[in-house]
Amino acid sequence: MGICELRNNLWVFPPSRDSAGGSAWLLQSALGCSVLVDVPLLNDANKAFLQAQPPGLILLTHRGGHGQCQRWQEFLGWPVLLQEQEAYLLPTLQQRFCFSRNHSIEPGLNLLWTPGPSPGSCALHWSQGTNDVLFCGRLLWPAVGGGVVLRGSNNNFHWPRLQRSVQQLEAWLPQGSPAQIACAAGLGTLRGSKLIEQGAQALQLRTTANAGN
């Protein structure tokens, strides 16, 4: 399984063993910036693909998605953006930029701090042109049969805080958004699809799993 092009400005990478089976995404913004959401496996195919893209940045949505981030930055020369509470995990990066609660990369590319899966987890809302996609990291997972699930585990920063993060996310998103949700893991549940459709409805009808763990 290789890199999957979903449209001419959005791709998803195969799951990476360096990120506990997580999937990275790449989008091309309206201003021509490449945004790598988490990092894929460091291999020749992924290196050749990303080297051919316009310059951009690496966005880390949760600590489980860091993978071999430093080696990727050394190869691409792109700056890394992450929430400030997880900056200490990558102390030797040459170009490391942090944000606190909210951040705008450019108009229509906005970040929100969503602690729960890890202390510095964040979500990216891409709302440019016909694109209306929420990149949620591991805050939300694809649910069997459709929709999304809020999953608790022993690795959660704090279960009530995770729940509050989703509530804050809903309040932060424009009404009716997102049209689609891009998760960082569990894409096999979607049986070939990569994006969760009718994202706003999926958020409203979300379920929970392992909430007591």
Average pLDDT over residues 126-131: 97
Q: What is the pLDDT of residues 39-66, one digit of tens each?
A: 999 999 999 999 999 999 999 999 989 9
Strands 196-197 and 207-209 turn out to be unpaired
Predicted local distance difference test score (pLDDT) of residue 69: 96
Lowest mean pLDDT among 16-30, 146-160, 169-183: 146-160
- pLDDT over 70 percentage in the chain: 96
C-alpha–C-alpha distance, residues 155 and 122, integer Å: 16
pTM of the model: 0.94
User: Is the bond preceding 178 in cis, omega lying within 30 degrees of 0?
Assistant: yes
* 95 — pLDDT class (breaks 50, 70, 90): very high
210, pLDDT greater than 60: no
What is the mean pLDDT of the segment spanning 138-151?
A: 90
pLDDT at 103 over 90: yes
